Structure 1
Amino acid sequence: MSETEPKKRSFLSKLFGREDEPAQPAPAPEQVLPPGEGPKPEVTDATAPGVPAGLPDTAPPLPPENPAPLAAAPAPPEVAAEPAAPAAEPKRSWWRRLTEGLSRTSSALTTGITDLFTKRKLDAGTLEDLEDILIQADLGLATSARIAKAVGEGRYDKQIDPAEVKAILAREVETILTPVARPLPIDATKKPFVVLMVGVNGSGKTTTIGKLAAKFRAEGKSVMLAAGDTFRAAAIEQLRVWGERTGAEVVFGQQGADASGLAFEALQKAKANGTDVLLVDTAGRLQNKQGLMDELAKVVRVIRKQDATAPHAALLVLDATVGQNAISQVEAFRTTAGVTGLVMTKLDGTARGGILVALAAQFGLPVHFIGVGEGVEDLEPFSARDFARAVAGLGEAA
């Protein structure tokens, strides 16, 4: 082939208006060189693996024999890292749960106090406005008047800092609550120690029984539950679930069974087993329904046929969201069931948590537990100081 032929092809390509593919050079004739002489091959990414000639000293180790084809091997698929398990949320202290639960009540009180006493001198009108704020939080007329009087002592025509008013509020509330803040005593000489749980519909009796069972079991006590709310199949099932969770035996019957008869049977079993605590659930009933209240009185009478001292505690479970209606509940259930103490639930769902102060001032019944949530740990023994400081928006007591 002549040296001018590639140029002719290039000219013809231009003549017909198309690009010509680059001509491939003719292969050079194979030359036989003496060993060790001649150019060394250039090392590139495409250099066939397994050819050691010409490799630099820094070359990576040779791959194994029978290498893969020259085409770049696909990168191994990325394995998505499993998401790290979320860090367990630190267990909240009781103080934190209490303050969060009472935040609606506290906010209503402290905001009103701050707005009222900021840049304003104290006079009769100011104290009347303060009373209104306290009454709206359901602290009651007597308690509200008492706190307003304490704020006004020696401070007329003077400006008072809202923080000082909150401190007075906490002090007066604690004074009222301290006599009623008492734990529920379990007399170990009484086997079983019978606790009757009463209250209106929706107050949280059955849930409270489950939480108390968990607490008593954590203390090492044996517990039996009596599903005495025979009107609601859901209540029976709920108590059975709590029994499974806590390891407590549950005595239950069919829906619509006689509640007093079931309580009698449960007490018999608890005595035979040497059970430490028997918690008896009852159906929710409105305090103004005399027929239902008479049935509750019958449950008490039947229990006393076996043990004249039982029930050893009758706890009224109150829903804090009902406000002043709680007063009439205490009056009715104390007469019918001989209520010995109170449990206040759902304080986290209302701005009317002050009703607990009004009840303490009026009835003086022990307040054994308060609830600020759904968890087992959200029902705790009542502390007057903690409650008073949380309601007033103050920090935890030292």
Structure 2
Amino acid sequence: MWKKFLAAGLAAATLTGCGSGGESAPAPQPAVTSAPVPSSAPAPEENPTRGGEGGLRIAIVTSPSTVEDGSFNQDSYEGILAFIQEYPDASVTAVQEPTGEAEASVQAVAQLAASYDVVVTPGTQFAGVGAVAQEYPDTDFILVDTFPTDAQGQEVVLDNLYAMRFAGQESGFFAGVAAALETVTNQVAVVTGIAYPANVDCQYGFEAGVNYANAHYGTAAQLVELPAYAGTDRTGANVGGNYIGSFNDASGGRMVGDALISAGCDILFVAAGHAGTGVFEAAKESGSVKVIGCDVDQYSQGETETGNIVLTSALKVMGPNVQRVLESIQEGSFQGENVLLGADTGSTGYVHAEGRHQLSEETLACLEEVYMLVQDGAIVPPGNFSEGNTPESFPGLD
């Protein structure tokens, strides 16, 4: 049943967007508090009741960006706000851990876990929250885009933790196909923050999408990678790509964006959180470069005095999934599990709503075709740890 719900959520995302700005009608104001760092987070009453008087008390901990990053964190946060619109007695506290370091991120969660009904944590740096969830069995946890690990670093499945990973390689694949079909200079690139598995998934998917378009649609796009910005994944392997080294360094994003534009790129796929705003600035100043947004509809962030730089956005449907899990907690049907979400559940995609993209009709037709093939499993884009598959060799390429 929730597959239908997610499909509707994807449609809504492509229509209204999840980034900051835009002209959508203002949402009702839920009960929201915020704190810049974990140590100053306001603590609710001890032993709060779950879904009882006062409603669910929810905390969202983000690192290093805030819930207003216009991308990954914000989409998860908006899922919470959508839930609060349904259940106005619920409340949310937004807490930023500013370093982006895994140990600090997990410690931020540990400091507040006992005081909330639910803790939402978006990002790979929160994988270690599994150990916190084991320590606080009366708190439910929603982990976005990674699976939990225990104190020994082993992946675990817990009764009080719902972990959702997204097939980011699928979203990246759609971006790569679009870039290859729309480029004029035949030079395209992907810019990411840190080589966490989810980001390498996006990178590899993008590269695979470019290769697929070249093989099946007669394009001749070339992938541009600057050795100075190559990424190193968690195994120590050099994964190439163009990594800023941060999700919060807009000036670093600007440097990488300028370098790629100087190398001849006219389309950049930007999957770098707040650091990506620097890439957007570089594209805007160039006057001729387009970007493809990531995770959420970023069209509103691409506005300039003369038009818009956003070609489309690759989507992970995080908000509706967070909302769905919160509803299960409220209704008493919550079940902890680790789930991989992709196109088959409407959880990955690309923006194609009228007025929110600049894709040609030909490109839209090709994207619709490949989306169905990915959804059906005929194309399987490679990820960071896809055994035997690479951007140059994956099911569906030949």
Per the normalisation by structure 1, the TM-score is 0.30
Structure with greater helix share of residues? 1
Rg (Cα) greater in structure? 1
Per the normalisation by structure 2, the TM-score is 0.30
Structure with greater strand share of residues? 2
